[in-house]
Each structure stands twice: as C-alpha cells, then as structure tokens.
Structure 1
Amino acid sequence: MINDPAELDPASADFIELAPALLERMAAIRAAALQTLESGEPVYGVNTGMGNLSKVRLTEAEQRVHQRNLLLGRAVGSPPWLPPDEARAVLIGRLKTFLTGDSAVSIGLIQQLVALINSGHTPTIPSEGAGSAGEIIPLAHAAGPLVGLGWLQPPTASENRAPTGAEVRMPTSATTPPGATSGGSASPARAVDGGAELRRADGFLPAFVLAPKEGIALLAGTPGAAGRAALHASRVRRLADQLTAVAAGAIAVVGANRDPYQALAARGDDVLAAEFGRLRELAGPEPEPRSLQAPVSFRVAGHVNAHVRRTLQQLEEAVERAFTGVTDSPAYLDGDFVGTAGFHGIDLAAYCDHLTTALVHAAEVSTARLHRLLDPSVTGLTAQLAREPGPQAGLVAIHKRAVATTHQLRRLTLPTAISTAETSNGQEDVQTFSWEAVGNLAEAIRLTRQTTACELLAVRQAFALSARPIPPRLQDLIQAVDDVVPPIDADRPFGEDLTRLLTNVL
C-alpha cells in the first residue's frame, strides 16, 4: 500500500496499490483546482493553446476536446521503442509526479494509470527523437493508451533486450502499427490495439475521458527521464560491484603489489577508502608481488571504480530532486496555476552524462587490464592465456572485441546539453535533451557489461593456468563462471562464452 510517492521505486515497484488517504488528498487538490479554473483566467494549455499558440484562447467547445488533442498531435515518434522495463519506469515516474499534487489531476486518471502499470503491458514509447523542451513527444506515446490511443507491448522477463520495432506485432484482425511485422521469431512480442480496449490484470480497461488540465499534465515535466534514470541507477549499482570484483580478480591473479589500495592512500575520500577496502577484501591476502609496481590499469582500479560509485550517487540525488521538485507547468501551487521551468532537465542530463563518462573510463581501464592479462611479462603465464601458444591463439580476439566496444563507448561521451535549437517558432529556444542523455547511459551500461565480461573470462582463464589460489571472497563469482563456461583448453567461438556470462553471471 503506497502512502507516499517517495515509496514508489521505478526500478523495483511491483503491483501498486494507493492508500485511500493519499487518494483523498489528490481528490481535494483536484476539487480546488477545478474551482480555480472557474475564474476563467488564462491557464496555459488548459484554456489556451500550447507553445507559440498559447496566445490563442479556446472556446468551451474547444476545451472539451483539447486535452485529448494534445496527445494526438504530439505522438510523432516511431521505432525503435523503449524496452518494456524502461517504458514501465516511465509510467511509474509519471505516477510519482502526479502524487505530489502539482498536476491537480483527478483520482480517476491516477487510477487509470495505476491499472495500466499493474497490467504488465507497456506503451510503445520511442527511444529517440525527443527534440523539445521537456519530453512531450515520448510522453504523448506513454499516455496514449490511457485514452485509447497508441500501442502496448506485453510483459517480458528480458531486462536487456534491445529495443527494436520488429518486436511489436498486432493481432491479425487489426492494422499493423509502425515498426511491427507480420513475421518474426517463434514467440514474438505482440502489441494490443490501444484503440479498442486496454488490457489490464483482471480484465479490460475502457478508454479514459480527459477533463480540464489532464492532457497537459500527462505531457509535463521530465518523469520519463527520471524514471528511466532511476532504473539505470539500480543497474549501475550492481555493475559497480561487478567492476570491483573483476578488477580484484585481475589484481589477485597477477600478484599485483597491494600498496595502491592501502587505507592511508585514501586520505580525505571516504568513497575511495571504501573502494580500497573492497578491493583488498576481494583480492585476498597479499602474496609476494611479482614486481614493485603493477601496470597503471591495475593500480588505478580503486580510483576508477570509486568514481563510478561517486557519480552514481550524484545521479541518484538528481533523480530524487526530479521527483520531489516542481516539474509541472503549469503547476497547481498554493491555490494558483503557476508557469514553471521544471521541465528543463539539465540536472538529470548532466549527471547522466557524468555517469556515462565514468562508465566509459571504467571500460577503457578494464580493456587495458585485459590486454595486460594476455602478456606473460605481467602474469608469468603463457602468451595470450593459450594452453598451447602458437597452435592456439588464446584470448587475443577477446581483447579485440573489448577494444571495439570501448570505441563505441567513447562516442557516447559528448555532453547532450551543449547543443540547443529553436522549436515552436522560437517559443522553445533551448533544450537539454535529457531523454537522449538517459538513453546514452543505458547504452553505456550495456557496453560496459560487455567489456567486463571480456575481462572476467580472461581472469578465469588466468586462474586456470596459474598456481595462485582463487581468493575466498571471489570463489562464488568464479564458480558462477564455471557453471556456464566450460574449461578453456583450446580455441573455440568465445563469443558464446561471453553471451553466457552476460546472460547468467553479470
């Protein structure tokens, strides 16, 4: 039972039920807002047009259809669609902002949104093309099914499936939506025609009729970027632990000098000190080091991973601000409708960019360590970690894949908010492209997992060829690798091994 919007987590919320007291509070705000609207004073997007057309006052007849029309004309996106887990995070983000009361929407619309979330079906929301102040285009797609518009994807258990239009299919009795196909895999995803009925957990949900202020409320703010960022932050938390564990494995298997990870070397930096502690614990007791100094990619592991964790914390704080601050415009505040600029998601965009760059650097350092793991002068093992160097190539191609992946990653580091453009005849003359920033973060997570898998496979093979014992705190990780990757005694299609690691271990 949700009593406060802070209890809703876009990364983990399951079945949602709102407490009666919370709904009563929303109903009271809605009643007061409707009374305020009776004054006839101009309220942006309610009794006026939007954007450059906000100077146009709407008649009562026009107002009755205006809120639904706001969604119709702005759903200009197309595939690739967001994967269902990200689309669900957008819906939960929208719900969280509604429950602050700033949108002053009816409890009927709130309950409609909850029903859609609980159904497990998710709207087809474009992952690209949000070139406006705020998120009007993707939010029009997200909100469409609430009023009988657009398309829905069925529930899926796949968290890391790439968003492609070909995943969306229609029933044979309906028209095929953009991006859908009539063919495909043996068990393709299917879209439900939002123009008929919305599928919910225990039946069907009829299309909702929007009342004053509710259409513009569905399009307001940055709930999509905030919800997606919350989801990706939860994934980075896990990825950060994996980065640490794999780096510790590399440190242990080459017998790297442990001096760089001593607590004294983290003076004044609690995040770094904690990371040093994790590396020392995971890497186990220090043996006689092979050299006075290991390569830099080993020595800086603590600093690199601490930076990932620090920037992750900064993004989580930005997400919290996005959900607790005023992002609606107009927002219903203290009895009045107030035009705001809370839709300008510079906070989210900047910290998504920051975390993306931190992950790219971590992937580059991981790839450098992987290269060193193939070098006998560093490991004391066979060249390229091959059982029989020469007749066998070993893991050299694994490193080449990691190099290609880091090359892809580097192209994600261009800051998203440095390019502005005018839209809506100059009414919207700057954007932050926070939707793009959170999309870049998602891609950075996906690719960094790949480089981590490459290094993990090399660490496992190095332990297999080494007389060094596997540290106690890493034995579960190595066993998880062994459960899905057979011993490497000869060359084989190692891409299959990496896929198993990405699917079952990382």
Structure 2
Amino acid sequence: MTQGPTGDQVTFDGESLTITDVQRVAEGRPACRVAPSALSRAAKSRAIFEDTVRQGVPVYGVTTGYGEMIYMLVDTAKEVELQTNLVRSHSAGAGPLFAEDEARAIVAARLNALAKGHSAVRPELLERLALYLSVGVTPAIPEIGSLGASGDLAPLAHIASTVIGEGYVLRDGKRTPTGPVLRELGIEPMELRFKEGLALINGTSGMTGLGALVAGNALQQVRHAEIVAALVIETLQGSTSPFLAEGHDIARPHPGQIDCAANMRALMRSSGLAVDHADLRAQLTAGKTGGDVSRTNVYLQKAYSLRAVPQILGGVRDTLYHAVSRLGTELNSANDNPLFFDGQEIFHGANFHGQPIAFVMDFVTIAMTQLGVLSERRTNRLLNRYLSDGLPEFLVMGDPGLNSGFAGAQYPATALVAENRTIAPASTQSVPSNGDNQDVVSMGLIAARNARRVLRNNDIILAVEYLAAAQAVDISGRYDQLSPVARATYDRIRGLAETVRVDRYMADDIEAVADALRRGEFVAAAQEAGAELH
C-alpha cells in the first residue's frame, strides 16, 4: 500500500478522465488528486444542497426513505443514521471478489462521477476516495448483486462500507477487515452526512469502471489477433493484396477497417513470404504445374479467415471504438440521484440507469466472440492438411499416427468458441425488483462481466493459434523469409514454449502464451521490431 513514483499522477476533475487514466490507476499506484476546480464545485453544490434541506424542501433519500419507501418521511436529525443504514443494508454482494485492478477502476470511476460537482457530497469525501487510490486502500467488492439500476448498488455499497471503517479491503490479494488497515495507516473512518451514502452507491461506476478495463484490454487483444493473423498469412504465403490501402481508405472507409489494414501492412512489411497480386498473377500465367493452370496450387484469393481480416477485425475495432466513446462519456457523468444545479430545480431523475453501458458491453461481447471465431478458424486451417499449403496434418513433425501433434490443442480453442457463443446479451434481461420501483433494469455490470469472460477465453484461443503458427514456421523452414515483426513474434513464442517434436504435455505451453498475451508482450515485441500499430 504505497504511493506511486513521484510525477506519476492522475487528476480527477469530473470532466476529462479517460480509459487510459483508469488503466493507469487500476494497474499502478499513481498519486491521485482531486482538481481544485472539482473541490470548489463540490463545495458550492454542497452549500446549495444544505440550504435546500434547511428550507424544508423534500429531497429523496435525505428527508425520505429509499426506493419503494419514498413515501416515508425521515427526520433530518437522523442524517448519519439514514445514510449509514443504507450502506450497511446494501452491502449484500455475493460471489467472488473483483480483482484488485478492477476494484481500483471502479473506485476511480465513482470518484470522477462525484467530482462532476452535482452530487452534493462534501469535498472531504472526494479527497478520501483519492487517498484510498493513492495509498492502496482497495475495497473488497463482490461481483454479484448489481441490477444496473439504481446503478450498481450492492458493489458500490462495499466501497462505501470501507469509508465508514466497516466491511473489507484487499491486502496482498486477501479479504481483510477494513478497521485495522485504516488504523495502521492513520486514517479515521468518516461519518456519512446528508445524501453521501446514497451518492456513493447510486451510480453506474461498477459497470463503467470494469467496462473501461475490458474495452482497453479488448483493443489490445485485437492487436494481438492482427499480429498472429499476419504471421499465419506469411507462413501460408498469402497475398498482401487484401490489405492495400486503396481498398479500405477509399473504397470502404470504416475507421476500424482502415486501421486494421494499416496494421496488417505494417506487420508484414519486408516479408519474403507474403506475395502481392501481380506476383500471383504471374505465377498463374507461367502455369507452375506443367502449364495446366486448372490444377495449380496458386490461388489469387485465399479463404476469408486470411483475406477478410480487415473487414472482420475492423468491425470489431469499430464496435470497440463506439464502446470507448460511450464509456468515456459515462466516466465523466454525474450518474446518481438526485442532482443539484445552481439556481435550478432539484433533478430527481434516473441518471443511475446503466442502459447505455449495458448495451455497449453486450456489443463488446458479440464483437470479441467473433474475434475468437476468426482465430480458431485460422488454427484449423493450419492443422488441416487439405487447407494448409502442404503442411502435415495437425502439424506433426514426425511419425504421424504415433504422434497427434496439435490435434488435442485445438479442442480448448474450439470449446471456448462454443462457450463464448452461449453468453447471451445481459442488457435485455430485465427482472423487476424493489417492490416494482425498479421495474426495468439494465443488468449492465453482468454485461461487463460477460465481456470480460469472453476476453479471457479469447486469450486461450489466440494462444493456441500462436503456438500452431510457430510450429508451422518450424515445419516449413521459412523463418528467414519472415518479416521482422513475424520473426520477433516467433522468437517470443519460442521463448515461452519449445517446438513440439514429439507429443508432450501441452497445457503449460498454452497457459504460458495466454499469460503473455494478457501482459501485452506480443504487441510490445511487434513495436520493438518497428511496427507502429493503431
């Protein structure tokens, strides 16, 4: 629980937090501070709010009960008790805990939403959440319990419980009572005043914080999919024609397709294996099979899994670009209820409803499922001797039949493609709750968790393809003709797993490469080899 290096800082102003900022907070220990402008807005909003309460104006969750109990009036003298009871009663999450980086992302999202300045919390509460992030006090947040409206109540209540010195935090990855940890750090628990318990738990920050990490990691996974696609295309001596700029930048200018095609060109630059259309045409004209071009093994066009990479992964990219945009908006939104504006009527509304995020996280799940499909189909092409440009069945190096090669390694990839397809959209699964006050809910956090699950499955699917591609390079003897990036990719694979010369235990190889993918090692290797990737 230590602060990050000097100069490594993230400022929360309620206006400009990015997914990259959330990733930095989640994965590191930057110093976190609240912008003076945000503290000033919070103080002003708080003053307006307290004046409203003193005037006897009814305010939801301040002078009333919650949800279906809104008709019950509560004496303002019981402000601390009302807010504390809300936090305690909703600290009812279940199931596994979010990982530390995920919990930190959720706290960051909640802090920035409150820093927007319309939630009427005291500046001290904003500074407390920033302190937690800076010194590494990470709430232990169960994954299960949110309906996505009124926001992510249960998960966020587990954050609020730590603010009052109750509940649990993560220490060395373990669930630890909050009180002793705060005492050790010299941090006094806070009393929650008017509306502050409600403001902490009534918002979309669970789905948005987790969604920000998933979307950022998904874009990284797309780059990994492009890297291995380029390696397979080179190994199978595919054409570079499908990646020509004119076919994308001019003919069909979807941004994701343009970016993917540009990456493919960068990845295969200086390849001695991938050929252009003119060379293929010349080979056909020469009749490489004794002049009978009707039987030639030279094809002007390869299968979709090799040729349609920009169209498929470009579509994935565009879906992720949309998700990043919507997540960026939500990260910088006030999404609790009620909200306060200078000189205006109190906004009693439903900004806590997670439908926009639920939809885009379902879109991410769908798009990333197709990424896994594409990868597994290329793996199948490498393993099927009728499709693999002369490679042996299942990439067996010797004694086929006695050895099975990659036959078994394909199964988890195929199984996970099927598993990904079973993950249904969460955003349409509304179930009424709270005495039918919450009669239409978003299930946005479930959507974000689903997308995370597909992402993790895809790391294994891609790992199998990476290993099969390296094996194909070994069998074909084409290493020296690979592009610089392809050689760097191959070398990184071989740094993790040796060539499969005879059958051996494969699970460790798959997991080692999947772990490297999660760490972003192949993107780093490609960049070190000179590829500038979108």
TM-score normalised by length of structure 2:
0.84
The verdict on how the C-alpha distance between 1:58 and 1:318 changes in structure 2, with shifts beyond 3 A counting, is same
Change in Cα spacing, 1:490 to 1:281, as seen in structure 2 (3 Å) is same
User: Where do 1:55-454 residues align within 5 Å?
Assistant: 55-131=71-147, 133=149, 134-154=151-171, 189-198=173-182, 203-266=185-248, 267-269=251-253, 270-284=255-269, 285=271, 286-287=274-275, 290-335=298-343, 336-377=345-386, 378-388=388-398, 389-412=400-423, 414-454=424-464
Gaps of at least 5 residues in structure 2 are 1-8, 281-297, 519-534
- Structure 1 CA distance, aligned partners of 2:474 and 2:160? 53
Given that 2:427 and 2:444 are in contact with CA atoms closer than 8 Å, whether structure 1 keeps it comes out as: yes
Report deviation, 1:259. Answer: 3.1
> Which deviates more, 292-301 or 210-219?
292-301
Distance 2:13 2:334 in 1: 16
Q: Could you list the runs of 5+ residues in structure 1 that have no partner in the other structure?
A: 156-188
2:521 maps to: none
- Pairing 1:24-43 to 2, within 5 Å after superposition: 24-43=40-59
Q: CA deviation at 1:218?
A: 0.5
- Asked whether the 8 Å contact 1:261–1:276 carries over to 2, the reply is yes
Shift in Å at residue 483 of structure 1? 1.3
Specify the code of the residue in structure 2 equivalent to 1:299.
Answer: R
Counterpart position of 2:6: none
Alignment check: 8 A CA contact 1:248 1:283 kept: yes
- Structure with greater Cα Rg: 2
Separation in structure 2 between the aligned mates of residue 21 and residue 101 of structure 1, nearest angstrom: 9
What is the rounded CA distance, in whole Å, between the counterparts of 2:79 and 2:55 in structure 1?
15
Name the TM-score, length of structure 1 as normaliser.
Answer: 0.89
Matched residue type, 2:412: R
Deviations for 1:33-55, whole angstroms, at most 9, x for unmatched residues? 21122111111111100111011
**1:88-114: per-residue Cα shift (whole Å, max 9, x none)?**
111000100011001111111112211
- Residue 205 of structure 1: SS of its match in structure 2? coil
Per-residue deviation at 1:11? 1.3
- 2:515 maps to what in 1? 503
In 2: Cα distance, 1:438 partner to 1:19 partner: 29
Percent identity (aligned) = 27
> 1:428 corresponds to which letter in structure 2?
Q
Given the alignment, which residue of 7, 11, 17 partners 2:23? 11
- In the TM superposition, what whole-angstrom CA distance separates every residue of 1:452-489 from its partner, at most 9, and x where no partner exists? 11101001110111133221122222221121212221
The total of aligned residue pairs comes to 470
In structure 2, which of residues 480, 483, 489 is the aligned counterpart of residue 477 of structure 1?
A: 489
| Farther off after superposition, 203-212 or 278-287 | 278-287
Q: Deviations over 1:90-145 (max 9, x none)?
A: 10001000110011111111122112222323212121231362211111112210
Aligned-partner residue type, residue 405 of structure 2: G
Determine helix, strand or coil for the equivalent of 2:340. strand
Question: How big is the alpha-carbon RMSD for the aligned residues of Structure 1 and Structure 2?
Answer: 1.9
1:324–1:253 CA distance, 2 compared to 1 (3 A):
same
Q: Give the match's secondary structure for 1:392.
A: coil
- Matches of 2:383 and 2:148 in 1, distance apart? 48
Q: Per-residue displacement from partner, 1:263-310 (whole Å, max 9, x unpaired)? A: 333213243123122213323443366423322222222212111211
8 Å CA contact 2:102–2:213 kept in 1: the answer is yes
What does residue 175 of structure 1 align with? none
Equivalents in 2 of 1:367, 1:398: separation in Å? 11
Indicate conservation of the 8 Å contact 1:29/1:104, yes or no.
yes
Taking a change above 3 Å as real, the CA distance of residues 372 and 199 of structure 1, as seen in their structure-2 partners, is farther
Q: Distance in 2 between matches of 1:24 and 1:309?
A: 39
Please say which of residues 44-53 and 225-234 is displaced more in the overlay.
225-234
2:316 alignment partner AA: V
CA distance in 2 between partners of 1:199 and 1:232 (Å): 34
Task: Say if 1:99 and 1:318 are closer, same or farther in 2 by CA, change over 3 A.
Answer: same
Q: Cα distance, 1:21 vs. partner? A: 4.4
Q: Structure 1, residues 190-232: CA drift from partner, whole Å, max 9, x if none?
A: 32212445267xx231211011111110112201211111111
1 CA distance for matches of 2:177 and 2:145? 23
After the TM superposition, which of the residue ranges 351-360 and 299-308 deviates more from structure 2?
299-308
Alignment match, 1:176: none
4+ residue segments displaced more than 4 Å: none
Deviations 1:389-441, CA, capped at 9 Å, x for gaps: 222111111111101111111122x2212122221111110001001010011
